[in-house]
Amino acid sequence: MQLARSNQTNRLDSLTLGILGLGMVGAGVGFILAMGAPPDQSQGFVARIFHMHVPMAWMAYLASFAALGYSVAYLVRRKAHHDRVAAAVVEVGLIFMALALLSGMLWARPTWGVYWDWEPRLTTTAILFAIYVGYVVVRGAIEDPELRAKAAAGVAILGSINVPISYMSVKWWRSLHQTQSIDLTTGKINVDAAILIPMLINLAAFTLLFIGLVRLRSIIAAREAAREEV
Amino acid sequence: MRHLFHPGSLRRPFTFCTQTDSLSPVQRIFWLAWRDLVLEFRGRTGILSAVFFLAVMLFILAMAFGPNPQDLQKAAPGVLWVALAFAGSLLAGRAFGLEVEDGTLDDLLLTPGSREWIYFGKLLFQFSLLILVGLVLLLLTAGLFYLPLQNWAWFVVVLLLGSLGYAAISTFYAGMLARLRGREVLLPLLLFPLVIPVVLAAVRFTQGLAQGIPVAELSDWLRLLAVFDVIYVTVCAMVFPYMLEG
């Protein structure tokens, strides 16, 4: 039984490889299309970072929801698998979140003139980043697997619930004191079909990469757990 | 129940009190909080060190923001809540610290009935401590930072709501990390990102009060704070029993 299971987890399954391969091809195609897309009227070529930035930010929030789902599933069902997937989702999501923040800052410098602005979306993402760093640190600090899984699930659930709350509060914080500011959420880019299609392709490619990376990370985690058992 | 007041039995009241079954959940919550408060005040170290830490912190912040009274007054609401947040993270470890040191956490878990009351009891304890420290802090800030206290009743209201939101999260994490080594470092790391909305709303309301803006215009912040409190207390109470098991 032990052998059979560790054999199973010792092989990278073809589905994961397929998803990762398709995602990489898609990202390549998306990149070429994005570079071929016409430059933005007001921002020029700088706006092309949009094709990377939006899918990354989208993945970051997808990770937050997935982490919430798998953490609740773990607390209800108590299957180690759910805990491993939740951890993988958070780790991969953290990378996408860092990339989204970084690319956003690089984009903000030439367009808004500053690297950082206390805009609700930015602030909420930064808070979320801090929460998930805490998640990873907590996982590293606890050795007992069951205790670790429970504590991590608690952090993920509270953290995900905090996303809409902090978004709301930061939005209010801004709106009550700032009389006029650039509405970053609506007035960004007049999305044209020539820009939208590469963006959607990129979005699909990044989603596939996300799923593939999470699967890969979960398989590695499962292998580690199987090894610890032996 | 009278055994609770006997000094020798204070450390393990539930082993002396045999009819825990007959206690209603509300009574259990009250007795748990009462026991912890009595222990805290008899021990004195926790609460005293928190208060003196606050005093020293206020001195440092006052030096940082300069001797100009206008500047100090402008910084006062932020100082009040940042100081309370730091003191809260010091006190959060007290909720389960003694239980683990004395090995009474298992006794507490072994008492029949659901687990939510443990959370609510500890929450009540943390909340009372925060309120006490917060009131001292409010007076210190009023004195050192020229915070005008004409509307003192509203300051107390925002202190109550803000402390409840803070205590809800800090109690949850303190229970979750109770048996862990290095929890003193982990607790603030987990706690602070989560309490940002609570602190933000509380600071905004306090700032408005200090500037003399009528409460009717500020009541949105208070309502927001109340909504946060309800959400955090509910979610934490729901998830907490899972965290303590085993």
Q: Which long-range contacts (CB under 8 A, 24 or more apart) does B124-127 make?
A: B124/B29, B124/B30, B124/B32, B124/B33, B125/B32, B125/B33, B125/B36, B125/B37, B125/B40, B125/B95, B126/B88, B126/B91, B126/B92, B126/B95, B126/B167, B126/B170, B126/B171, B126/B174, B127/B163, B127/B164, B127/B167
- Cβ neighbours of A170 in B, within 8 Å: 197, 200
Task: Note whether B235 contacts A158, CB cutoff 8 Å.
Answer: yes
Write the residue in B189, B221, B235 that is nearest to A134 by C-beta.
Answer: B189
Q: Determine what percent of chain A is predicted with pLDDT higher than 90.
A: 30
CA distance B231 to chain A (A): 9
Task: Note whether B193 contacts A134, CB cutoff 8 Å.
Answer: yes
* Cα end-to-end distance, chain A, whole Å: 12
**B95 in Cβ contact with B175 (< 8 Å):** yes
pLDDT(B14) > 70: no
pLDDT digits (tens, 9 = 90+) for A141-178: 888 888 889 999 999 999 988 888 877 777 777 764 44
Task: Note whether A155 contacts B242, CB cutoff 8 Å.
Answer: no
Task: Note whether B180 contacts A161, CB cutoff 8 Å.
Answer: no
- Cβ neighbours of B187 in A, within 8 Å: none
Task: Note whether B224 contacts A172, CB cutoff 8 Å.
Answer: yes
Tell me the average pLDDT across B34-57: 87
pLDDT digits (tens, 9 = 90+) for A78-97: 898 999 999 999 999 999 99
- Mean pLDDT lowest among A32-46, A53-67, B40-54, B99-113: A32-46
Tell me the average pLDDT across B102-130: 87
B222 touches chain A (CB under 8 A): no
Exposed, middle or buried by CB within 10 Å (0-12, 13-18, 19+), for A199? buried
**Residue B21 confidence (pLDDT):** 58
Hey, of B161, B173, B190, which one would you mutate to test binding to chain A, going by the most A CBs within 10 A of its CB?
Answer: B190
pTM: 0.84
CA distance B190 to chain A (A): 5
Write the residue in A75, A166, A169 that is nearest to B242 by C-beta.
Answer: A75
**Residue A191 confidence (pLDDT):** 60
Which ipTM score applies to this complex? 0.81
| Closest residue of chain A to B203, computed from CA coordinates | A173
| Closest residue of chain A to B199, computed from CA coordinates | A169
CA distance A89 to chain B (A): 19
CA distance B123 to chain A (A): 17
- Cβ neighbours of B172 in A, within 8 Å: 154, 158
Tell me the average pLDDT across B9-21: 50
Rounded CA separation A188/A49 (Å) = 13
Question: Domain segments of chain B: what residues?
Answer: 47-244
Question: Domain segments of chain A: what residues?
Answer: 2-229
Write the residue in A146, A150, A173 that is nearest to B200 by C-beta.
Answer: A173
CA distance A62 to chain B (A): 19
Q: Average pLDDT, whole number, for chain A? A: 81
Task: Note whether B228 contacts A151, CB cutoff 8 Å.
Answer: no
Task: Note whether A162 contacts B243, CB cutoff 8 Å.
Answer: no
CA distances from A89 to A47, A64, A96 (A): 29, 8, 10
